[in-house]
Chains A and B, each alone.
Chain A
């Protein structure tokens, strides 16, 4: 189907099913129960899951295929957001032109940065790409927001004000980002018994965009172009010796992944019309690196899993406070309850960074291929349980 082989088609269908049914899957616990804390099926987080999924899928096209580790992709996400918000400010709240422009701007920006950075490889490339978002962040936070030439609105973040021109804004259109009149924020809540599920327009827009980008990335992975990029990863020198100039290929990969980042940035702004400079900090770039590697670099679905994993932590674990802990352990005798709260306390709420750090280390140490690797191991283990004589050792091949 769609020019994919059977395995990839299955994968695509699985991803499609997961994203379309996400409102159900992410809200497995009844609203009033203690476990509701772990529900992630509210619009904002679902949107973040897929948007950062797109970001990571794009990053994976560069890093997973060519092995070039860029720390600069946050800059593309950032300029994408700024471009989109400028469309909102000057012309219209319609997200279509905004997202389009954010992709274009990010493409131009990544072409420029890629052209400069790809003259070097290895860690030199990484540091070059690190320099650009850091400069962009510093400038966007201060210099580019001076009253004379306010491009970014600095610390506060670029947002839409009531006195902005919004040339094509008409009476009757939502006063928030919308797609031809369909507000990104409309949510339909379905209640079944004690459960409640949110269906949000913005989420479904993002989800559909993500499916398209996922499909494209599968096609890129399977194309001759993808093969070429993999060849660059395995031995660039040999490629050069055969008389082939690899730079156009790597630059193309760089720009494509930059466009994915811009798209993610545009979508972020479309879901919530505010663009902040922090989006361009190197830590934001680092986040997408973590997502990709955590999920499984070079695999198709890994980056999406990684993105979900990190965003889940950031949003769910940071909200668990002592009160919640006491609720959980309230069934225990007083002393033990306090003890349990004492034990768990450092790892949740304000300690969520600690838990995340520990999990990173555990995943990297024990699952070299990321979460996908973990999944494969479990799969293999389940399959091999029946046939005990099959003594496959635990050697894992790095996931592609």
Chain B
């Protein structure tokens, strides 16, 4: 791309009383004092946590925010230090980032692109945030990622599962810790083959928007490759609350697996409806009827209650994961908040620490320096096991969990059990994979 940004303009200082050198950050323009957007000049550095405080994902937000606060505490050397003890990079010392105390601002995305951008902008323009983290949907993540690229701050995407985030919409200033639809499919397929057999007939119900399509495409490709037949794929409107009219035709379709490419409220309702129609007790083609929910989250599992028993799915992280980083994180989070962390909580916690660590290693908050430090960075000890941030597309590569609704949960927190930890090699793909084609990372933008 040869277009250049000529928005550079010097800041004209007015008034002799202006605090010398105390250039208050401005967005999208260079100030003579700052080398990049929102260069922290005082003793503090501000991070922006942009989460859905209102709307259907508000509870997810709550967990993300708790984790982000915990991360800030640990960065500032309060609490038990959490994953700073297990993190393989030892750059962080618990004295903030680069000696500056970490503070944060929060905002409400409302799970709407417009509101999310408005909120992120106010963090950047008004509060001087150098990094934005959070979010609970791919649409929002992509919208905010684009904004951060233009503004010249780092975006650590929260919960976003669409291939596009690090596919056709990837951006140099954005990094994703969460896994994606392709990885879900790649991790699930072998387990489904092992547990359900190689000659199944699958019926897809798919949320009718970009993420749903992207996931359906990935799952269909992976399951067809191992011999499954896709009987039908029905698109359901996002606004649906009652799925009975989509579920009923499944009964007579000859399918013996139902795949619900839904998330959040959609998934809770479609799964509840499917169970209502007695799907789990059905026997079709001499096989037990099964339901698969490719993307799980703890909150959805809680919302769906008993209905998730025996339902397969995949996750980015689960607190029952047995490694040092995970144990340490669960301990810190659990002791502080009295419940185990959810996978979105872990994502935001890890991202906050990673960002801080990258700043330390780069020796600057400059997004270009930070991005360089994150690109190709390999680490362990934040809960997911060995992890790589790939330089080509800023997607993170790590083991993916295949989980199942537990048959006999003992408490509210172990309703999901880990079936398999799919090793990272199985879910790795080439950066130019067709599902991720198009779009370009571009170059990092320091905003000044």
A and B touch in their complex, CB below 8 angstroms:
yes
Contacts of A155 in B (CB 8 A): 137-139, 209-211
Q: Which residue of A lies closest to B438 (CB)?
A: A163
Interface of chain B, helix or strand or loop or mixed? loop
Q: Which residues of B contact A191 (CB under 8 A)?
A: 13-15, 18-19, 22-24
Nearest A-chain residue to B209, judged by Cβ: A155
Q: Which of A154, A161, A315, A323 contacts B119 (CB 8 A)?
A: A315
Which A residues fall within an 8 A CB radius of B? 31, 39, 42-45, 48, 138, 141-143, 145, 153-157, 159, 161-163, 169, 171-176, 183, 185-194, 196, 198, 272, 274, 276, 278-279, 314-315, 318-319, 321, 323, 349-350, 352-353
Please give the distance in Å from A354's CB to the nearest CB on chain B. 10
How far, in whole Å, are A7 and B350 apart by their CA atoms in the complex? 60
Contact partner of A141 (CB less than 8 A), chosen from B23, B150, B209, is B209
- Which residue of chain B has its CB nearest to the CB of A193? B17
Contact A172 B6 (CB under 8 A): yes
Contact B28 A185 (CB under 8 A): yes
Is B14 within 8 A of A163, CB to CB? Answer: no
A187 touches B26 (CB 8 A): yes
B231 at the interface (CB under 8 A from A): no
Alpha-carbon gap, A279 to B114, bound state (A)? 8
Residues in B with CB closer than 8 Å to A314 are 108, 115, 118
Chain A residues lying within 8 Å of B6, measured Cβ to Cβ, are 172-174, 183
Question: Are the CB atoms of B118 and A48 closer together than 8 Å?
Answer: yes
Q: Find chain B residues with CB under 8 A from A175 CB.
A: 3-5
Known: A44-B118, A185-B28, A186-B9. A192 touches B17 (CB 8 A): yes
Chain B residues near A143 (CB-CB < 8 A): 208
12 more CB-based (< 8 A) A-B contacts, given A154-B210, A190-B15, A349-B53? A45-B126, A145-B209, A161-B439, A171-B2, A173-B6, A274-B147, A278-B114, A314-B115, A319-B122, A349-B106, A350-B58, A352-B108
Q: In the assembly, what is the distance between CA of A154 and CA of B162, in Å?
A: 13
B237: A residues at CB distance < 8 A: 138, 142
Q: Does B235 contact A (CB under 8 A)?
A: yes
Point out the residues of chain B lying under 8 angstroms from A48, CB to CB.
118
From the candidates A156, A186, A196, A318, name the one contacting B107 in the complex (CB within 8 A). A318
Q: Give the chain A neighbours of B139 by CB distance below 8 A.
A: 154-157, 276
How far, in angstroms, from A157 to B438 measured CA to CA in the complex?
17
Give the distance to chain B from A172, nearest Cβ to Cβ, in Å: 7
Instruction: Output the residue of B13, B18, B114, B137 with the most chain A CB within 10 A.
Output: B114
A313 to B441, CA, bound (A): 36
Set of chain A residues within 8 Å of B4, measured between Cβ atoms = 171-172, 175
Residue of B nearest to A161 (CB): B439
B143, A156: Cβ atoms closer than 8 Å = yes
* Most chain B CB atoms below 10 A, which of A45, A172, A175, A176: A175
- Which B residues form the contact surface with A (CB < 8 A)? 1-7, 9, 11-15, 17-19, 22-24, 26-29, 31, 53-54, 58, 61, 65, 104-108, 112-115, 117-119, 121-122, 125-126, 137-139, 142-143, 146-147, 150, 164, 168-169, 208-211, 235, 237-239, 438-440, 442
Distance from B161 Cβ to chain A, minimum over Cβ atoms (Å) = 12
Alpha-carbon distance A367/B327, docked complex (angstroms): 57
Contact B7 A186 (CB under 8 A): yes
Q: Given the complex of chains A and B, what is the CA–CA distance between A157 and B5 in angstroms?
A: 23
Q: Are A156 and B138 in contact (CB under 8 A)?
A: yes
Q: A43 near B15 (CB under 8 angstroms)?
A: no
| A169 CA to B1 CA, complexed, in Å | 12
Q: Contact partner of A193 among B9, B15, B147, B439, CB < 8 A?
A: B15
Point out the residues of chain B lying under 8 angstroms from A142, CB to CB: 208-209, 235, 237-238
Instruction: Choose among A155, A173, A185 the residue with the greatest number of B CB atoms under 10 Å from its CB.
Output: A155
Task: Tell me if A190 and B114 are in contact (CB < 8 A).
Answer: no
Decide: A323 and B114 in contact? CB cutoff 8 A.
Answer: no
A161 to B3 CA separation, bound complex (whole angstroms): 12
Q: Are A189 and B138 in contact (CB under 8 A)?
A: no
Q: Cβ of A315 and Cβ of B150 under 8 Å apart? A: no
